[in-house]
Structure 1
Amino acid sequence: MERPQIISLLQYGHTAVSKLLLDYYAKIGLNEPQMMILLHIHRFIEDNHPFPTPAELSERMSMSESECTELLRSLIKNDYLEMQKNQDDDQVMYETYSLTPLFRRIVQEQFSEAGAETEKDSSNQEGELYEIFEQEFSRPLSPMECETINVWMDQDKYKPELIKTALHEAVLAGKLNLRYIDRILHEWHKNGVRTHQEAKTYGENFRKHQTSKTTMKDKTKPPQYPNINWLDES
């Protein structure tokens, strides 16, 4: 190929296609012919020709005019493509194609995937917590106990690591029941404790304080003398 011809091809221009279209078209229910005609419409729109006819589309595709017509109808009916009515400065009505529904479907699919992943992670975390609690309690959890743990995560928004730390504190205190753990979590929340490390530090300080109080109480006790009966001279 001659160099001028190569330069001419490079100057012909490019059509920018979002990677999202290529990544998601199959996931939102499009097949290859549908995707291709949408790409051609996108190209026409970029060239300031927003309403190509089936005949014009057919010239660029390996499909007949009637097949292109049927494909366009299907895309509009299934909310991948939209026909819009517009008015120019001279009050003349004209129609254009819009790919907004297509991109809306892709965004919805992205959010759906993200939501499913989040739900899966949440379910895994709950399952882990149930197992840890059952190990410490040495028995299966009751439905009410499972519901309580679920409330801690979904409604109270306690992080799983914080719940595990509260369970550890209950084990140290020898009080393996959810009511005691709930009091710990409530106390931490009231005092701004939000992370595992903050909870660990708070627990250590609390135990030191309790030990100090016990020591001071022992020091202030009166001395204990043996019970001697001074009248017994034997």
Structure 2
Amino acid sequence: MDVKFLVKLIENSTVSVPSLLIEYYHKIGLDEQECMMLIQVHSFLAKGDDFPTFDDLAKRMSLDGTDCADLLRKLIQRGYLSIIQKNDQQLYAEAYSLDPLWEKLIRAAYRSETDMSVKDNENTLYTLFETEFGRPLSPIECETLAMWMDQDRHSPVLIKAALREAVVSGKLNFRYIDRILFDWKKNGIKTLEQAKAHGERIRSRQIRSSEKREPDETPKMPTYNWLGQGE
């Protein structure tokens, strides 16, 4: 047995398969057979064969040429594979392109990373609320917190800011926090900077209003310290 020949054969036959394809193929709607077909196409492309025949693919698959043709057609129709026109020295030829597959995988990986980040933010918020309240949140409170993020689309930053305002104001309850978030949403507040500017406008109006009252008249509205200082 010529071991060196076999080692060289293995080395020259290596095809790099993106780890994203191995990790996410099922998340983008591919089954094992479809994934293997795309890997085979990728292998041909890597070796310089841009448009392998159905019989060429069938030799590497547990499918005949007709089945390979049907599977390729389905992959093209579903947006995992495309056929492009290739210009090679003024000669036009068809070629397979896996760009649609790579785009789907990148989007899936990005969504997964984003979902994980959102989940981390949710866990951080729950921990922060329980720390400030000094107790575990009730099921209703947990549902309210989830609703602020999922339905009302309040960012974790603004929810933290509203919690801080409730702490500073000595009104640590979900109803008060919800009132702050509702006011911000009604006024188009989406960032921490906008919330700070909004709070300054409220304080300015309250100062002007208090100056018009008699010295012994108690203000009816509390002075809002929306965010305090810093993060």
CA contact (8 A) 2:169 2:224 kept: no
The runs of 5 or more residues in structure 1 that have no matched partner are 196-234
> For residue 165 of structure 2, what is the aligned residue in structure 1?
166
CA contact (8 A) 2:121 2:156 kept: no
2:38 is aligned with 1:31: no
3-state DSSP of counterpart to 2:94? strand
Distance, in Å, in 1 between the alignment partners of 2:66 and 2:21 is 25
Shift of 1:115: 3.5
Aligned pair in 2 of structure 1 residues 159, 17: CA closer, same or farther (>3 Å)? same
Distance, in Å, in 1 between the alignment partners of 2:7 and 2:37 is 28
Structure 2 matches for 1:84-163, cutoff 5 A? 84-90=84-90, 92-122=91-121, 154=154, 157-158=157-158, 160=160, 162-163=161-162
3-state DSSP of counterpart to 2:85? strand
2:225 is aligned with 1:184: yes
Distance, in Å, in 1 between the alignment partners of 2:71 and 2:7 is 36
CA contact (8 A) 1:87 1:94 kept: yes
Shift of 1:71: 0.5
How many residue pairs align between the two structures? 177
Q: Which amino acid counterpart does residue 63 of structure 1 have in structure 2? A: L
Distance, in Å, in 2 between the alignment partners of 1:76 and 1:113 is 25
CA contact (8 A) 2:44 2:52 kept: yes
Aligned pair in 2 of structure 1 residues 30, 170: CA closer, same or farther (>3 Å)? same
Aligned pair in 2 of structure 1 residues 11, 168: CA closer, same or farther (>3 Å)? closer
Aligned pair in 2 of structure 1 residues 184, 22: CA closer, same or farther (>3 Å)? same
3-state DSSP of counterpart to 2:48? coil
CA contact (8 A) 1:153 1:159 kept: no
Query: What is the TM-score with the length of structure 1 in the denominator?
Result: 0.60
3-state DSSP of counterpart to 1:95? strand
Shift of 1:181: 9.0
Q: 1:207-229 CA deviation, whole Å, 9 max, x = no partner?
A: xxxxxxxxxxxxxxxxxxxxxxx
Distance, in Å, in 2 between the alignment partners of 1:155 and 1:23 is 30
Distance, in Å, in 1 between the alignment partners of 2:47 and 2:39 is 12
3-state DSSP of counterpart to 1:113? helix
2:73 is aligned with 1:73: yes
Distance, in Å, in 2 between the alignment partners of 1:82 and 1:102 is 9
Structure 2 matches for 1:31-50, cutoff 5 A? 31-50=31-50
Q: 1:173-217 CA deviation, whole Å, 9 max, x = no partner?
A: xxx95678992225x3xxxx332xxxxxxxxxxxxxxxxxxxxxx
Shift of 1:166: 3.3
> For residue 60 of structure 2, what is the aligned residue in structure 1?
60
Query: What is the TM-score with the length of structure 2 in the denominator?
Result: 0.61
Shift of 1:128: 6.4
Aligned pair in 2 of structure 1 residues 182, 117: CA closer, same or farther (>3 Å)? farther
Aligned pair in 2 of structure 1 residues 126, 156: CA closer, same or farther (>3 Å)? closer
Q: Which amino acid counterpart does residue 225 of structure 2 have in structure 1? A: I
Shift of 1:11: 4.1
Q: Which has the higher contact order (CA 8 A, sep 6+)?
A: 2
3-state DSSP of counterpart to 2:7? helix
The runs of 5 or more residues in structure 2 that have no matched partner are 181-220
